[in-house]
Chains A and B, each alone.
Chain A
Amino acid sequence: MEIRYIDIKKTVLSDNTDLADQIRENILQSNIFMLNLMASPGAGKTSLLLETIRRMKNDFRIGVIEGDIESVVDSEKVAALGISTVQLRTGGECHLDAPMINEALQNMALDALDLIFIENIGNLVCPAEFDTGAMRRAMILSVPEGDDKVLKYPLMFSVCDALVINKIDTISLFDFDMEKLHMQAQKLNPHIQIFKTSCRTGEGIDEWCRWLRGEIAES
């Protein structure tokens, strides 16, 4: 039998990206801004989210989509602030993708929201591949994780609009070269905005929120 060659020329995960584009357009029309927050486990996603919500909840009607493999502990903390949350228990999946976010949005009262945070699953590899339909992507790197993470997860650093370096209050305990990190991150992504925060002392959180407010106003 004759061997045939069929041209495809299709980007991998383009179905996901197409759906993400559609989600972005839909929520933009509802005047909603969505942020995809990513980090490795323990970097401080929930802590930063809680601090951000405390500072912004008087000005925005906020909703949260929580990605968690099995538990609901994070969404309980967010719900305690009076914020509506949708918990996606992914049962082993290591990332959130556009179909999951689409389903979550269908369970949210979108006409009563201005701002949605996606707390992605703790992982710096897979979430970088999957566009969720958020307007902006931010990642958290905590000081104890080390300054070499750019080298290990280049895709994540290249797709994010903002990099939050959290647990900055511990910097004297670690050999963390801030200058090197800036240089490496900006080499892959010259537009990346870098913030230094501590959810414990509150350092830098206002500056991060100021950036976020600016991005919301812009879109």
Chain B
Amino acid sequence: MHEMAVTKDILDIVLKYAAANNAKQVLGVGLKIGELRDVVDDYMQRFFNYLSRDTIADGAKLKIEHAPIIFRCSCGETFQVSIKRVMSSKPTICPYCSGRNAVLNSGQEFEIIGIEVI
């Protein structure tokens, strides 16, 4: 259900921009989604297909770019951490200084980058 709530918002924004640019059809939607967002691509596409029936975005493909999870250490360096590691009970260790106090810097993005239209 989580995908349904956000997909409705995505469709509203897409249709608004498409209309403002006199588009006849939306072919694709570019999205950037952080790995921590816990979004299932297939569900999003399925909900988008359902919600966009009878609109000019019917049939549009979601093109999802997954943004990595980045931690920032107190030494100033940033580094990528896999979702598996974040979700494990192991501490996050900085590869530069071996510090264990790095905090989440990014990985929660949820952005509509743009749309392909004719």
Asked if B110 and A13 sit within 8 Å, CB to CB, the answer is yes
Whether A12 sits at the interface, judged by CB under 8 Å, is yes
Pair B116/A4 contact, Cβ less than 8 Å: yes
The listed residue (B6, B31, B113) touching A13 by CB distance below 8 A is B6
Contact: A158 with B91, CB < 8 Å?
no
Given known A-B contacts A15-B9, A180-B89, A7 and B113 have beta carbons under 8 A apart: yes
CA distance A2 to B1 in the complex (A): 36
- Residue of B5, B108, B115 near A5 (CB, 8 A) is B115
Interface size of A by CB at 8 A reads 33
Q: Is the CB of B92 within 8 A of A187?
A: yes
CB of B41, distance to nearest CB on chain A (Å): 14
A129 at the interface (CB under 8 A from B): yes
Report how far A190 CA is from B101 CA in the complex, Å: 9
Q: Find B111's partner among A12, A183, A190 (CB 8 Å cutoff).
A: A12
With A126-B1, A188-B86 already in contact, the answer to whether A154 and B36 are too (CB < 8 A) is yes
State whether the Cβ of B10 lies closer than 8 Å to any Cβ in chain A: yes
Partner of B6, one of A2, A12, A190: A12
- Indicate if the CB atoms of B2 and A8 lie closer than 8 Å: no
Whether B91 and A154, one on each chain, are in contact in the complex, defined by CB atoms closer than 8 angstroms, is no
- Asked if B67 is at the interface of the complex by the 8 Å CB criterion, the answer is no
Give Cα distance in the complex from A94 to B4, angstroms.
10
CA distance in complex: A187, B86 (Å): 8
A170 to B24, CA, bound (A): 60
Please state if A184 and B89 are interface contacts (CB–CB under 8 Å).
yes
- B1-57, CB < 8 A from A: 1-2, 5-6, 9-10, 13-14, 17-18, 21, 23-24, 27, 31, 36-38
**Interface status of A105 (Cβ within 8 A of chain B):** no
Known A126-B5, A155-B108, A190-B103; contact A1-B113, beta-carbon cutoff 8 A: no
The smallest C-beta distance from A54 to any residue of chain B, in angstroms, reads: 34
Contact partner of A188 (CB less than 8 A), chosen from B17, B23, B24, B104, is: B104
Closest Cβ of chain B to A91, distance in Å, is 14
Give me the 5 closest cross-chain CB pairs, A-B, nearest first: A12-B110, A125-B2, A1-B118, A151-B87, A7-B114
Beyond A11-B111, A94-B2, list 7 extra A-B contacts (CB 8 Å): A4-B23, A5-B115, A6-B114, A6-B116, A8-B114, A13-B6, A155-B37
B residues apposed to A, CB below 8 Å:
1-2, 5-6, 9-10, 13-14, 17-18, 21, 23-24, 27, 31, 36-38, 86-87, 89, 91-92, 101, 103-104, 108-118
